[in-house]
Structure 1
Amino acid sequence: MKLISWNVNGLRAAIKKGFLDYFNEVDADIFAVQEIKLQEGQIDLELDGYEQYWNYAEKKGYSGTAVFTKKTPISVSYGMNNDSHPEGRILTLEFENYYFVTVYTPNAQRSLARLPLRLEWEDEFYQYIHQLDQDKPVILCGDMNVAHQPIDVKNDQSNRGNSGFTEEERGKMTRLLNSGFIDTLRYFHPDRDDIFTWWSYMKTVRERNIGWRIDYFIVSERLKDKLINSQAHTKVMGSDHCPIYLEINL
């Protein structure tokens, strides 16, 4: 199975920048997108062979997630346990042998004003993922808005304590990975210090690869022997994030 996750930073904008060319070329079995920034009825997307599932934010032009899948899921959940999270940040598709979850984790904001909310959210999400994992293995993907280790940020020393690289946020990721989950890119590339998934729009930053790795494919540890490949498609443009790729034998 080929799986893709991409924070498109506005799906309508990404489509104007070649999203569909990449979508058709990569031919994924499941393709997840975050930060779609649109409401129901604002897009008419024809994707032959795919079912579409959307979780829109209540606020216009903000957040939101979607999953396009070739295989029909057994069930689909919106938010955590189908609760009323208004920002459209989570979609869960249940299949026969696994759960597929895409997430757009809240940003702590530059001033860290939203850090307490972010940490509460992390605790709730941790419980949710473990609840799923007790039933079936989990494949989790998306923009998790944290660079886990210094190797995941180009300038780690100057970014310590900044949003997305606070000890608190990094600690929540460590807790998740230490509780029976695998960061698939690091499983295949444990020492690569040049793989990033997000770059600011400042001039020449992306060309010089001054980035952060904040997008992940994370899987239940018992799927380890089924992993085939995990990559970041860093050359693909159309967003300030690049798509990430997981190949797994399910």
Structure 2
Amino acid sequence: MKLLSWNVNGLRAICDKNALDWIIKENIDFIGFQEIKAHEDKFPKKIYEYPFKHMYSNSAKRAGYSGVMSLCNFDSEVKKCEFFDDEEGRVLEHRFKNIALFNIYFPNGQKDEERLSFKMKFYADFLVYLDKLLKDGFEIIICGDVNTAHKEIDLTHPKANANTSGFLPIERAWIDDLLKLGFIDTFREINGDIKEKYSWWSYRMKARERNVGWRIDYFFISKGLKDKLKNAFIRDDIFGSDHAPVGIEIDI
């Protein structure tokens, strides 16, 4: 299976730019979008033209904000958020076989202390839920915009951002805890300590052109899927958003 994830920073905008047309040419089984910023009645007609069997969405109550969407070519039982009061449309959970596949737009903590606390509670509640799923016998795939760079290698200016949300010790420690629970950062598993590979760039100061970025979009898998992982990649050749798509190939 080929699975992808992309923070599109606005579904209507990206469809207007024809920036999704590349998915027609690729044999994709699943793509999860984050930050779609639209309710179903405002989805662009073009999104229904792409060659996928199923489309699911979870939109924020607030118009023009957050939201996730999944396009997939396999059958699954789909849940919204089982672990958090999700008024912001952040989670889709797909269950098939013995697998729970999450498409998540994790909160950003940069606005203020209240939003950082919200982000950390989301992180903590999700970790508890994952532990329960593992104990119930599920293998797990997590994809999405995690809004945190894990290691210094994962952003261009780690020292300058040491006190910036997205690279705070408490945020990075959550990824440590996720890995301690047995999860694998698929990009590092396949690509090792390759440098200067990022998934997000600011729109300011020609950051993408200069490759001044952060790797904050991930695929994590539970350790029981490790031997099935064949590839993990960042599609930094794809434009249309301030994020690049990320993906994996996995035998499931």
**Alpha-carbon deviations, 1:76-127, whole Å to 9, x = none?**
110125x641001010000013111011111112444421221111110111
What is the match of residue 204 of structure 2? 202
* Residues 1:106 and 2:117 aligned together: no
Distance in 2 separating the partners of 1:236 and 1:35: 17
Work out which of the residue numbers 33, 51, 55 in structure 2 matches 1:52: 55
8 Å contact kept, 1:33–1:67 = yes
**Alpha-carbon deviations, 1:190-243, whole Å to 9, x = none?**
211211000000132101100000000000011110000000001100100000
What is the match of residue 72 of structure 2? 69
Q: Secondary structure at the match of 1:28?
A: coil
TM-score (norm 2): 0.95
* Residues 1:9 and 2:9 aligned together: yes
The gaps in structure 1 that reach 5 residues or longer are none
What is the match of residue 164 of structure 2? 162
1:128 maps to a residue whose letter is Y
2:199 maps to a residue whose letter is T
What is the match of residue 183 of structure 1? 185
Q: What pairs with 1:1-250 in structure 2 (closer than 5 Å)? A: 1-43=1-43, 44=45, 45-46=47-48, 47-73=50-76, 75-81=77-83, 84-134=85-135, 135-250=137-252
The alignment covers a number of residue pairs equal to 248
The gaps in structure 2 that reach 5 residues or longer are none
TM-score (norm 1): 0.95
Distance in 2 separating the partners of 1:148 and 1:84: 26
8 Å contact kept, 2:200–2:242 = yes
2:57 maps to a residue whose letter is W
Query: How far apart are residue 140 of structure 1 and its match?
Result: 0.5
2:67 maps to a residue whose letter is G
**Alpha-carbon deviations, 1:116-154, whole Å to 9, x = none?**
221111110111122222331001000000000000010
Distance in 1 separating the partners of 2:241 and 2:247: 16
Distance in 2 separating the partners of 1:148 and 1:94: 27
1:130 maps to a residue whose letter is D
**Alpha-carbon deviations, 1:13-32, whole Å to 9, x = none?**
11122333122123310110
Distance in 1 separating the partners of 2:15 and 2:183: 33
Distance in 1 separating the partners of 2:51 and 2:189: 33
Q: Secondary structure at the match of 1:170?
A: helix
**Alpha-carbon deviations, 1:141-172, whole Å to 9, x = none?**
00000000000010111010101000000001
Question: Which deviates more, 118-127 or 38-47?
Answer: 38-47
1:177 maps to a residue whose letter is L
8 Å contact kept, 1:3–1:28 = yes
